[in-house]
A and B are shown apart, each in its own frame.
Chain A
C-alpha cells in the first residue's frame, strides 16, 4: 500500500533558519587525507605535492578547497558511539521528521574563503534554508530541501560555505 506524505510539522518549520549542530573538527587537518583525495581524482596540482611550490604560492601546504565537507564527516565507528555516524545531520533529521526514507543530493554550491592548512582547527554549523512542497520526481515523490553548512577556522576567518540541495523521497508514495 502506498504511504501518503504528511504535511510539514510545525516543529520542522521552526527549524528553518535556525543554527544547528555547531561543532569543531574531531581530528587534525593533515596531508594524509589530502593525498587520498588527490589520488582518487589523479590531481597532480603541485600545491598539494611539492613543498617548495606550496611555500612559494600558498605559504605552505594547503588542502584542496573542495574538501570542505571532508573535515566534518564522522568516523564510521568510534569508541562509545552507537548507531550509524552521519555527516550533514540536519539532512538525516529531515528524512526522519518528514517520513521520507530515501534521499539523494541533487545539487551543491560551495564558496571558498581562507585556505585550509594542516594543523587547522575548523568549526561548523548547519542551517536549513528551505523545504519545498511535495514534488513528483523520476525516483519517487517527496520534498526538496536546502541546507547551508558554514565553516570558519581557529582565527575566526570564513573558510567556506557548502550549500546542499537535497531530495527526500518515498519510492511508494502516490
Chain B
C-alpha cells in the first residue's frame, strides 16, 4: 500500500472539544493474558486467577500496565492515522479491568497548538470506562501534521519536543 492511500488527520480537521469515536472491547481472560505475554510481563496476577485472588486480594487477573498503554496508543492512532506521533502519555489506574468487563475507551481534544519548531500538538483527555465508571484516566500528547505535506515522524533532536 502506498502511504498516499493512507489517511491521517491534519491540524485543520481538529478542534478543542472534539470527541474521539468511542471504542468498546469485551475483555476476556485471553485479552488479559495476550496483553501480558505480548508485553513480556510474566507476573502471576496477570495470568493466574488464584494468585490474583488469594495474594493480591482482587477478584480476578487484570490488564497490566504496558497493555493498558498499548490500548490507549491504538485508540489514539486509530483516530489520527499513521502520521500521528505520540509524544507523551500519562495515565492513572483507579481500578483494574478484569475478564468479563466491557471496557470503553473514550476521549476528547483538550487543546491544540504549534510549538516553536512548528510542530502541531494535540492534547487529549482519554479514559477507560467499565460500567460507566472511569477505570483508567489518561492524558496524551500527540503530534499531528499541519497539512498533508507535513510529517511529525521526520522530526529529530531539537525539532522533537514532546
Complex Cα–Cα for A36 and B162 (A): 27
B70 touching A67, Cβ below 8 Å: yes
B2 touching A66, Cβ below 8 Å: no
A29-53 at interface with B (beta carbon < 8 Å): 33, 36-47, 50, 52-53
* With known contacts A52-B2, A65-B86, A112-B162, A40–B70 Cβ distance under 8 A: yes
B71 touching A46, Cβ below 8 Å: no
Closest Cβ neighbor of B72 among chain A residues: A66
Contacts between chains A and B (CB distance < 8 A), count: 137
In the complex, B87 has a CB within 8 A of chain A = yes
From the candidates B1, B35, B70, B88, name the one contacting A46 in the complex (CB within 8 A).
Answer: B1
A57 touching B151, Cβ below 8 Å: yes
> Interface majority SS on B: helix, strand, loop or mixed?
mixed
In the complex, A120 has a CB within 8 A of chain B = no
From the candidates A43, A52, A73, name the one contacting B3 in the complex (CB within 8 A).
Answer: A52
Which residues of B sit under 8 angstroms from A102, Cβ to Cβ? Answer: 55-57
From the candidates B66, B88, B89, B157, name the one contacting A70 in the complex (CB within 8 A).
Answer: B66
| B102: min CB distance to chain A, Å | 15
A107 touching B93, Cβ below 8 Å: yes
In the complex, A12 has a CB within 8 A of chain B = no
| B143: min CB distance to chain A, Å | 10
In the complex, A114 has a CB within 8 A of chain B = yes
A105-161 at interface with B (beta carbon < 8 Å): 105-115, 139-140, 157
Beyond A64-B70, A73-B40, A114-B156: 10 further Cβ-contacts under 8 Å?
A33-B38, A40-B67, A43-B74, A50-B1, A65-B85, A70-B40, A106-B92, A109-B90, A112-B89, A140-B57
From the candidates B42, B74, B86, name the one contacting A41 in the complex (CB within 8 A).
Answer: B74
